[in-house]
Structure 1
Amino acid sequence: MTDKKNDNKGSSLPIMEMFYSIQGEGYYSGRPAVFIRLGGCDVGCHWCDVKESWEAQDHPQKSIDEIVHFVKEQGANFVVITGGEPAMYDLTELTNELHKENIFIALETSGVYSIKGQFDWICFSPKKFKAPTDEVYHIANELKVIVFNRSDLSWAEGHRQKVAENCKLYLQPEWSKKEENTDLIIDYIKANHNWNISLQTHKYIGVE
């Protein structure tokens, strides 16, 4: 956090969407949150459910002031910055201004870029399509691995061995294969007690 004078005039980020809903996944599942979805991603997951976020130039630039104003209007005290790949950008100014409003900030990232900004919670979701930085293993509060194939379970274990001991561990079925992979994950975590299951509950209950 910082007390420096607001100098965000002219600063902006490509915004695909901003909305107030509930966090449906991972450690904070069920908590009301404002989602800030940034445009731009070069990781290229073939099963991505927000491929429209990939091209940053397709989304309007919004100033830091506009973004913070939207968050304040919702009356929420929890923000999730997601994408796309939000760590493509220096988020220092945005996180500084949100912290001035006493807002808890979570970041959802694949970990492929060095993280710039002050976050209260970092959810690291590695992808096979681009390797993460070494840094993210040391600062992640949550490791969330998307399970598309059975082989992803052993791949997840490789990442588990690199994160901090107190990092929360989640396996989440990829939505299009949830029927077959949910049971697979349940059986796995019953035998491997470090892990928890994460479900996209917002999709089950039909909210954004």
Structure 2
Amino acid sequence: MTNEIYDLLDGGRLLPLVEDFYTIQGEGYHAGKPAYFIRLGGCDVGCRWCDAKFTWNAKLYPPTPIRDIVERAASLPAQAIVITGGEPTLYPLEPLTASLKDRGLEIFIETSGTNPLSGRIDWVCLSPKRQQPPLPEVLARADELKVIIETPDDIRWAEENASHVSGHCRLYLQPEWSRYREIVPVLVEYAKANPRWNISIQNHKFMHIP
């Protein structure tokens, strides 16, 4: 985070909001849980199979006052907040998370782990990417390791990351959506042989919800 960007965002009281909405969490440990999603613009990783490429250019999303975001979130029955992107750790999240916690909300973050975590976060879902590996400090903090599997070789990358997380971290292999039919049978057999791993699928895509 450069000082210039930090100043532009008023220390995190403004954030480049792409969208915020109430839905059902579709992936990982909290799949099926109602949650309010806060999606921030900007990404420093850029996966070719990303299904949210529209978020990558943060300049497309003018800084939004976090008080507006918090008021919308608090006006709904949601008990959980998911901060995602893009890559949300590009920004100082202390003001946003403090305001949400003041409203009694539980806070989850979805990150590739390329930058230090900030703010008051209850659950860290780490989805590491080969082209820009996660920081050791984020691996150590992860509550959930969710690795996207595009080819069988990606399982080795998943195991490499799993060797650096804590013993309480839940482990998930998730098929890349466009390769779902080819990859799921591979993951089923791997998880059966290595039962510390679970399989995550993108339930929201089957349910046709955001």
TM over 0.5: yes
Q: Secondary structure at the match of 1:166?
A: coil
Deviations 1:77-113 (A, max 9, x none): 1000000000001100100000001100000000000
Aligned 8 A contact 2:143 2:169 in 1: yes
Give me the whole-angstrom Cα distance separating, in 2, the residues matched to 1:113 and 1:203. 28
- Aligned partner letter, 1:166: H
Quote the residue 1:135 is aligned against.
137
Quote the residue 1:84 is aligned against.
86
| TM-score normalised by the chain length of structure 2 | 0.93
Identity of aligned residues (%): 48
Q: In 2 relative to 1, CA 171–10 (structure 1 residues): closer, same or farther, beyond 3 Å?
A: closer
Structure 2, gaps ≥5 residues long: 1-9
- Aligned partner letter, 2:80: F
Match of 1:166 among 151, 165, 168: 168
Superposition deviation, residue 64 in structure 1:
1.2
Q: In 2 relative to 1, CA 9–187 (structure 1 residues): closer, same or farther, beyond 3 Å?
A: closer
Structure 1, gaps ≥5 residues long: 1-7
Give me the whole-angstrom Cα distance separating, in 1, the residues matched to 2:12 and 2:186. 49
Q: Secondary structure at the match of 1:117?
A: coil
Q: How many residues align?
A: 201
Give me the whole-angstrom Cα distance separating, in 2, the residues matched to 1:46 and 1:70. 32
Deviations 1:116-141 (A, max 9, x none): 11100000000011121110111100
Give me the whole-angstrom Cα distance separating, in 2, the residues matched to 1:134 and 1:194. 21
What RMSD over aligned residues (CA atoms) do the two structures have, in Å?
A: 1.3
Quote the residue 2:5 is aligned against.
none
Q: Secondary structure at the match of 1:149?
A: coil
Quote the residue 1:3 is aligned against.
none
Structure 1 runs (4+) greater than 4 angstroms displaced: none
- Aligned partner letter, 1:126: P
Quote the residue 1:117 is aligned against.
119
